[in-house]
Amino acid sequence: MNAKVERTKRAFQEAFCRLIQTTPAAQITVSELCREAGLNRSTFYRHYAIPLDVITDAVREILAQGDLPPQPMTRQTLYDFLLRSCTLWYQNKALFGVCLHCGGDLMLLLYRSLRLQEQIDRWELGSALDSFVFGGIIGVANQWFHSGFVQSPAEVAACLTGYVFRLHETTPRPAPEGTP
């Protein structure tokens, strides 16, 4: 992406982040967004169809950064993955906040952008534990945001790593087939 396109998209993203503080996402208009960004409507439509596309596009940019190769779960690979995820959330605080304001689908897109669920699925913890771990990580991330990112990404990643491993180690496993 060239520098002019990056500046334009960044202007729209920053404008959306400012507007979301006072206006529900679904009520932000193209005109308001353009006025706030200091850009015209034809520039907006060159890049987006609707205002929410601004944030969806930004989340997709994060998606490109969050890709990890498949790895077996060890304490270190889990910590490395969570540190990378927490660092991306930390570096994109405003976007994370917008996703929280928008709720549901956009928040899920942000989490998926970090490939969190895919990584958890690879560890084969068991479907019930997978869901519990995913929900717990999301809950901790939300709390971290609401507390103003007081802890560092490394501290949050270490806390989450301990949380996941304690759950993993204490979860009963089914008996091998043929065992009474």
pLDDT, tens digit, 9 for 90 and up, residues 48-70: 999 988 887 877 776 566 555 44
In 3D, which of 14, 155, 165 has the Cα closest to residue 86?
155
Q: Is 48 helix (H, G, I), strand (E, B) or coil?
A: coil
Per-residue pLDDT averaged across 106-119, rounded? 54
- Estimate the crossing angle of helix 104-113 against helix 52-65, to 10 degrees: 20
Q: Is the pTM of this model over 0.75?
A: no
Residue 34 in this model has a pLDDT that exceeds 90: yes
- How many Å apart are CA 152 and CA 148, to the nearest integer? 11
**DSSP label at 174?**
P
- Chain mean pLDDT for the chain: 77
Note whether 106 and 59 are within 8 A (CB): yes
**DSSP label at 171?**
S
Q: CA dihedral defined by 82, 87, 93, 95, rounded to 10 degrees?
A: -70
pLDDT reported for residue 88: 80
**DSSP label at 2?**
-
- How many Å apart are CA 162 and CA 142, to the nearest integer? 18
Structure tokens given for 35 = 């006025």
pLDDT reported for residue 36: 96
- Type and span of the H or E element at 101: helix 93-102
In this prediction, residue 177 has a pLDDT band, given cuts at 50, 70 and 90, of low
pLDDT, tens digit, 9 for 90 and up, residues 126-164: 555 666 666 777 778 778 888 989 999 999 999 988 887
Query: What is 104-158 written as a DSSP string?
Result: HHHHHHHHHHTTHHHHHHHTT--HHHHHHHHHHHHHHHHHHHHTTS-S-HHHHHH
Question: What domains are defined for the chain?
Answer: 3-57 (1.10.10.60), 66-170 (no CATH)
Q: Is 51 helix (H, G, I), strand (E, B) or coil?
A: coil
